[in-house]
């Protein structure tokens, strides 16, 4: 295995280069001449992050290192890693694509995702670090019956991870399709293979450093792209918006609300998902277990908020810059050179085409590499989160009742990683034409309906019981899933039913599913008179003291 680990980065690069050279293009016309500047830059970035993963493998010797590297990450480093985890394909490609299509309304995703961080800062970060060990299920099940709560947490985590993975796979597939001239399905398969290598080689230690590297690259790439856009208009945002309004089909409506979110209830539902879903994302929550103490956890959130806020301002500029640069010069970037024919690769590729329009092949290669590294690192973090939910929460704690060895946990985690990779590839192919920001919003809808209510009530309400938490969590989870399937995003766009026929009219189910979960947790817990419920209420004081002071947290993390 050690010899295999040494050779895997090189093998992965050979795989990427070989597939790019050998596979024919489908749906893009005749194969274009090889774009060597873009491809060499792309392979260099992927090779660097794979090599970093291999070097970090030696530091991942136990389950504690594999999931949350022994608390050995500083607050600043963890803040960059959180930002890298959070600034995904949905942020870079999806939001700029939404702004490219809908203008001002695309900003709701930037604002919604950013304002979720105060919820984590003031309600979650310190308490999570003091109460947890590896996953947020450790926190939710602190005073409850382990089996039902951990089962719920694992299932909820897996559903959120899968929705999130779909968006990353769609973005990566379209990106690699354009860069290498591959067919979409082949591109998604290639991404899935390299993603599994990331996680299988190093666990959370390696993905943390990959995400720090990715965050720096992404912030640098988007800064250069935004500066290039503003330089073209004399650093005058008003001139940028005015020119975009002249060129876009929406004209003056481009700068008005209502182009993407049509009514107030839809806006509230999407806003709830984006705000509170952040505090229910398993791959973000488990990042607070990688730092040494609660103080470092708070610093992590502060640094992450700074980087993420700066980044989201840039995506808005990039979206409007794409309107000016691409619609003003449509021939190289639209099918048949016609705006009506659609952007090559879809609106998700607006930022990538913008890089080509502003800086040529070299800039295209750099931005494509940054976007791909972004997607790959986020996918690795998501996959590890799902794998830890199965291996640590279901296998080690529920099935083996705490008797599983560290090696057994890691074996189950790696098998789960492989299974998740296969499922993500298949779903990425099915959801090929969806906007990645919308797909991630569905993951946030599930997170705010299933994970966040359970976590919030378990940590902050004395009266919460095992029965209330599990029944409310499952109600939030399944209602969110059902309403998502019945929404226009899936019912019409994926299942191909006629437009306007979706039984549930809103894109996000959060306005129904999240209140349902909270109501069920409160009602069932209030009427729970079992001996177990009385014991759980009595344990709240011990939980409160540890969550607020950290007493006992250090010993728990050393075990």
One digit per residue, the tens of pLDDT, for the chain of length 559 reads 444 445 445 545 555 555 555 444 433 333 445 567 777 777 777 677 667 656 655 554 444 444 445 455 677 888 887 887 778 766 788 899 999 988 888 888 888 888 887 777 777 777 877 876 666 777 877 889 888 988 898 898 888 888 888 888 888 888 888 877 778 888 888 878 877 776 666 544 455 666 777 788 889 989 999 999 999 999 999 999 999 999 988 888 898 887 788 788 888 999 999 989 988 887 777 777 666 676 777 788 888 889 988 998 999 999 999 999 999 887 778 776 555 557 888 888 899 999 989 988 878 888 888 888 777 777 777 787 788 778 877 888 778 777 777 788 878 888 888 888 888 888 888 888 777 877 888 889 999 999 999 989 998 999 999 999 999 999 999 999 999 999 988 888 778 788 888 999 988 999 999 999 999 999 999 999 988 999 999 999 988 888 887 776 554 444 4
In the numeric block, which tokens belong to residue 155?
């299932």
| CA–CA separation, 190 and 25 (whole Å) | 15
Other CB atoms within 10 A of residue 207 CB: 33
Q: What is the CB-side half-sphere exposure of residue 283 using CA atoms within 13 A?
A: 34
Q: Are 533 and 467 in contact (CB under 8 A)?
A: yes
* Nearest CA-CA partner of 443 in 460, 461, 416, 424: 424
Per-residue pLDDT of 302-343, as tens digits, reads 888 899 889 989 999 999 999 999 998 877 787 765 555 578
List pLDDT tens digits, range 230-277: 999 999 999 999 999 999 888 888 988 877 887 888 889 999 999 899
Could you tell me the two tokens for 494?
A: 């994926």
Q: At a CB cut-off of 8 Å and minimum separation 6, what does 200 contact?
A: 414, 417, 418
The residue length of the chain stands at: 559
Using CA of residue 478, residue 121, residue 282, residue 377, what is the dihedral sign?
positive
Helix, strand, coil percentages for the chain (3-state, nearest 5): 80, 0, 20
> How is the chain split into domains, by residue range?
2-25+43-441
Q: What is the pTM of this model?
A: 0.82
Q: What's the CATH architecture for 2-25+43-441? A: Up-down Bundle (1.20)
Those residues with Cβ within 8 angstroms of residue 27's Cβ, 6 or more apart along the chain or in another chain: 183, 184
DSSP-based three-state secondary structure for 334: strand
Residues near 162 by Cβ (< 8 Å), separated by ≥ 6? 386, 420, 423, 424, 427
């Amino acid at each position: 295995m050690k010899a295999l680990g040494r050779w895997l980065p090189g093998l992965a690069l050979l795989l990427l280069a070989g597939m790019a050279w050998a596979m024919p293009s489908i749906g893009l016309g005749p194969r274009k001449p090889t774009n060597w500047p873009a491809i060499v830059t792309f392979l260099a970035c992927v090779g660097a992050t794979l090599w970093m993963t291999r070097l970090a493998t030696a530091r991942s010797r136990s389950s504690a290192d594999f999931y949350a590297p022994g608390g050995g990450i500083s607050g600043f480093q963890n803040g960059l890693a959180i930002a890298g985890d959070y600034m995904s394909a949905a942020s870079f490609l999806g939001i700029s694509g939404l702004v490219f299509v809908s203008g001002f309304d695309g900003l709701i995703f930037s604002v919604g995702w950013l304002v979720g961080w105060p919820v984590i800062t003031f309600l979650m970060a310190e308490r999570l670090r003091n109460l947890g060990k590896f996953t947020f299920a450790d926190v939710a099940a602190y005073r409850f019956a382990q089996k039902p709560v951990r089962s719920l947490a694992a299932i909820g985590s897996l559903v959120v991870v899968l929705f999130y993975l779909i968006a990353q796979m769609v973005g990566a597939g379209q990106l690699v399709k354009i860069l290498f001239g591959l067919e979409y399905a082949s591109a998604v398969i290639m991404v899935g293979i390299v993603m599994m290598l990331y996680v299988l080689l190093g666990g959370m230690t390696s993905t943390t450093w990959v995400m720090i590297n990715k965050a720096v690259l992404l912030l640098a790439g988007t800064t250069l792209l935004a500066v290039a856009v503003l330089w073209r208009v004399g650093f005058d945002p008003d001139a940028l918006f005015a020119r975009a309004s002249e060129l876009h089909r929406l004209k003056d409506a481009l700068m008005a609300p209502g182009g993407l979110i049509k009514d107030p209830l839809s806006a509230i539902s999407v806003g709830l998902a984006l705000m509170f879903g952040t505090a229910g994302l398993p791959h973000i929550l488990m990042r607070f277990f990688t730092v040494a103490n609660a103080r470092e956890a708070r610093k992590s959130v502060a640094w992450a908020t700074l980087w993420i806020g700066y980044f989201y301002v840039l995506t808005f500029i990039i979206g409007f810059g794409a309107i000016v640069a691409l619609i003003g010069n449509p021939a190289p970037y639209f099918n048949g050179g016609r705006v009506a024919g659609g952007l090559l690769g879809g609106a998700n590729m607006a930022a990538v085409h913008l890089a080509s329009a502003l800086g040529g092949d070299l800039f295209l290669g750099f931005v494509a590499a940054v976007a791909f590294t972004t997607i790959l690192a986020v996918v690795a973090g998501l996959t590890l989160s799902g794998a830890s939910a199965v291996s640590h929460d279901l296998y080690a704690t529920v099935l083996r009742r705490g008797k599983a060895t560290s090696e057994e946990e890691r074996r189950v985690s790696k098998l789960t990683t492989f299974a998740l990779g296969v499922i993500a590839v298949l779903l990425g192919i099915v959801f090929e034409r969806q906007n990645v920001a919308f797909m991630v919003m569905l993951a946030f809808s599930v997170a705010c309906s299933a994970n966040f209510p359970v976590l919030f009530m378990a940590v902050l309400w004395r009266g919460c019981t095992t029965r209330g938490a599990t029944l409310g969590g499952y109600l939030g989870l399944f209602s969110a899933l059902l309403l998502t399937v019945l929404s226009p995003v899936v019912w019409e766009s994926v299942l191909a039913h006629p437009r306007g026929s979706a039984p549930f009219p809103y894109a996000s189910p959060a306005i129904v599913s999240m209140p349902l979960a909270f109501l069920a947790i409160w009602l069932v817990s209030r009427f729970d008179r079992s001996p177990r419920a009385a014991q759980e209420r009595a344990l709240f004081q011990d939980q409160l003291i540890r969550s607020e002071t950290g007493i006992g947290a250090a010993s728990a993390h050393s075990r």
